[in-house]
Structure 1
Amino acid sequence: MRWIIGDVHGCFAELIRLLQKIDFRSDRDHAIFLGDLVDRGSQSKDVLDFVQAGQAKGCFQVVRGNHEDDWMRAVRTGVVDWFSSLYPETWKSLAGRDGIKRLADWTETLPFYVETECALLIHGGMIADKHYTKQDDKDFLWSRNSEFIPAEYRDNKLIVHGHTPSEYPIVLPDRINIDTGCVFGGHLTTLSLDALERGEIVWQSVEGWGRREVC
C-alpha cells in the first residue's frame, strides 16, 4: 500500500499510531510525507530520526516543507540563534546547533514536489497562472492559493498538499488538502495513493496532540 501523510509537526506518538492504524509495514508499504515534520510539537528529533531511517530503507519519501526550509535558510544566513527563539521546542529536541545543522543539510536534499501517475504531491500548493514546472519554489512551500488550478497547469493530475490546517480533509476538483491540524489538537491524516489512482478518496486519521475524548 502507498500512502500520503500530512503535516506531522513533531507529533511522533501520533505518527506511530497512524502507521499502526493502517498496518504500515516497511518491507511492504510506502509513504510520502508532505513536509513540515518539525516545529510546534515537542518530538521533532524522534520524527526526523524515524523518517530518515525509513528513507534509508526506501519506504519513505519526503517533500520539503516551509518549516524545514526556514531552518535551512536560518543556518545558511547565520540567524539560527534568532530563529531558535521562534521554535524553542525544536531547538531543544534537536539538542541545539549541531542537530539544527544536520536538519539543514538534510533539507537541501528534499524535493519541492513528488509527481505520481495521478497526483502532484506538494507541501503548500501552486498559484493558478502557470504550469507546475514553471512555479517558484516559494509557491510550493508557502502558497495558500484557493483559486482553481486549470488542468493544463497540473497535467490533469490532482494536487495533494498540506500547509493550511483544516478540521477535515478538503476535497476539491483540482486538489486535496490533508493538513488536519494534528499539532493544534486536530488530527494527523493519511491519504491512500492506491485508492486515488483508482479514482477513490480514502483517508485514515488519528486524533492529535492535546485532544481529549468526550465522555
Structure 2
Amino acid sequence: MMNEAAPEETEPPILIAVGDVHGRADLLDALIDKAERKAKGRRCRFVLLGDYVDRGPDSRGVLDRLLALRARRPDTILLKGNHEQGLLDFLAEPDQVDAWLSWGGRETLRSYGVAVGEQDEPRALRDRFAEALPDEHFALLMSLPLTYEVPGYLFVHAGLHPDRPIEAQRERDLLWVRRAWLEGGKDRFEPVVVHGHTPVDRPENLSWRVNVDTGAVWSSRLSALWLERGRRRFLNT
C-alpha cells in the first residue's frame, strides 16, 4: 500500500523582515515574541537584514538568539551586514582594529568578556577575542548570505548601487551603499528592495524600497516589515 503524499504548501509563508539589531538582544526577544503571537500558528519566515553586532550591550546574546531561532525555525534567513563584515575583517586583519572599535566593536568585545586597554597590541587583542568567540558564532558569521529574494522582493542589508544590474552588484555595495542608493535607486530595479543600514525615525514604505532600520540601539524601537499576500504592515517594539 502506497503512503499518501503530504499535501503541498500552497500558501507562501508570511515574511517578517527585521531591521538592524546592533546588540539589543532584549529588543530582538520582544519583537520575535510579538511576531509569533501575531502569526497565531500560521507559517512565517523571519528574514534578518544584518548588523546584529556592535554598539549595543549584548552582541553575544544576539548571536545566541539567532542560532536558537534558526534551530527552531530552520527556514530563517540571516543576512550579512557591514558590521558582521567589520568583525570578520578584524579577525583577519587586526591592525585595522581602530576603525572597528569606532563603529561599536568595543561593545562587542565587552559582551564576550574581552576588555580593551589603551596599550593593547592589535594582534594580542584579536587573539583574546578569537579565544572567547564560540565556534558556532564564528561559523554563523562566516555563513551569512548577502541577499534573499522572493517574487517581487529582494532583501539586502544596505541596498543596491543604481549603476549596476543586480547580478553585477559588489559585496561592498550590498553592505555599505547609502547615498547613491537612496538618491538614485528609484525605478532602477524590478523587485522592491527591503533593507536596513540607514536609520530612520519610522519605517520607510515606498513603491521601490522599504527601510526597516529604526535605529534600535538608540531608539529602543526595533522594527520589522510584515509581508503577507503582497500586503505590507509593520511591527515594532
TM-score normalised according to structure 1 size: 0.84
Deviation of residue 190 (structure 1)?
A: 0.9
User: How far apart, CA to CA, are the structure 2 residues paired with 1:23 and 1:107?
Assistant: 25
Do residues 72 (structure 1) and 106 (structure 2) align?
Answer: no
Equivalent position of 1:213 in the other structure: none
Equivalent position of 1:149 in the other structure: 185
User: How far apart, CA to CA, are the structure 1 residues paired with 2:42 and 2:107?
Assistant: 32
Deviation of residue 157 (structure 1)?
A: 0.9
The SS at the match of 1:187 is: coil
Deviation of residue 164 (structure 1)?
A: 0.3
Larger CA Rg, structure 1 vs 2: 2
Deviation of residue 99 (structure 1)?
A: 3.8
The SS at the match of 2:31 is: helix
CA RMSD of aligned residues (A): 2.3
Task: Tell me if structure 2 keeps the 8 A contact 1:167–1:186.
Answer: no
CA displacement, residues 82-140 of structure 1 (integer Å, 9 cap, x when unaligned)? 56643221101123413447445432211111111221101011111121110110010
The SS at the match of 1:146 is: helix
Task: Tell me if structure 2 keeps the 8 A contact 1:178–1:191.
Answer: yes
Deviation of residue 61 (structure 1)?
A: 1.5
User: How far apart, CA to CA, are the structure 2 residues paired with 1:23 and 1:90?
Assistant: 28
Identify the match of residue 107 of structure 2 among 86, 89, 101.
Answer: 89
Do residues 37 (structure 1) and 55 (structure 2) align?
Answer: no
User: How far apart, CA to CA, are the structure 1 residues paired with 2:145 and 2:156?
Assistant: 9
Q: Residues 56, 22 of structure 1: CA spacing in aligned structure 2 closer, same or farther, 3 A cutoff?
A: closer
User: How far apart, CA to CA, are the structure 2 residues paired with 1:171 and 1:132?
Assistant: 21
Q: Higher helix proportion, which one?
A: 2
Q: Residues 180, 150 of structure 1: CA spacing in aligned structure 2 closer, same or farther, 3 A cutoff?
A: closer
Structure 2: any 5+ residue segments left out of the alignment? 1-13, 115-128
Q: Residues 186, 148 of structure 1: CA spacing in aligned structure 2 closer, same or farther, 3 A cutoff?
A: farther
**Aligned residue runs from structure 1 range 40-119, under 5 A:** 40-57=55-72, 58-79=74-95, 82=98, 85-86=101-102, 87-96=105-114, 97=129, 98-100=131-133, 102=135, 103-119=137-153
User: How far apart, CA to CA, are the structure 2 residues paired with 1:99 and 1:112?
Assistant: 26
User: Counterpart amino acid of 2:192?
Assistant: L
User: Counterpart amino acid of 1:95?
Assistant: G
Equivalent position of 2:20 in the other structure: 7
The SS at the match of 2:223 is: strand
Q: Residues 28, 201 of structure 1: CA spacing in aligned structure 2 closer, same or farther, 3 A cutoff?
A: closer
Identify the match of residue 131 of structure 1 among 165, 173, 181.
Answer: 165
Deviation of residue 19 (structure 1)?
A: 1.7
User: How far apart, CA to CA, are the structure 2 residues paired with 1:51 and 1:94?
Assistant: 16
Structure 1: any 5+ residue segments left out of the alignment? 207-215
TM-score normalised according to structure 2 size: 0.76
Of 50-59 and 93-102, deviating more is 93-102
Identify the match of residue 20 of structure 1 among 23, 28, 33.
Answer: 33
Identity %: 29
User: How far apart, CA to CA, are the structure 2 residues paired with 1:31 and 1:105?
Assistant: 20
User: Counterpart amino acid of 1:202?
Assistant: R
User: How far apart, CA to CA, are the structure 2 residues paired with 1:34 and 1:149?
Assistant: 19
User: How far apart, CA to CA, are the structure 2 residues paired with 1:101 and 1:84?
Assistant: 20
Task: Tell me if structure 1 keeps the 8 A contact 2:90–2:100.
Answer: no
Deviation of residue 143 (structure 1)?
A: 0.7
Do residues 162 (structure 1) and 196 (structure 2) align?
Answer: yes
Task: Tell me if structure 2 keeps the 8 A contact 1:71–1:104.
Answer: no
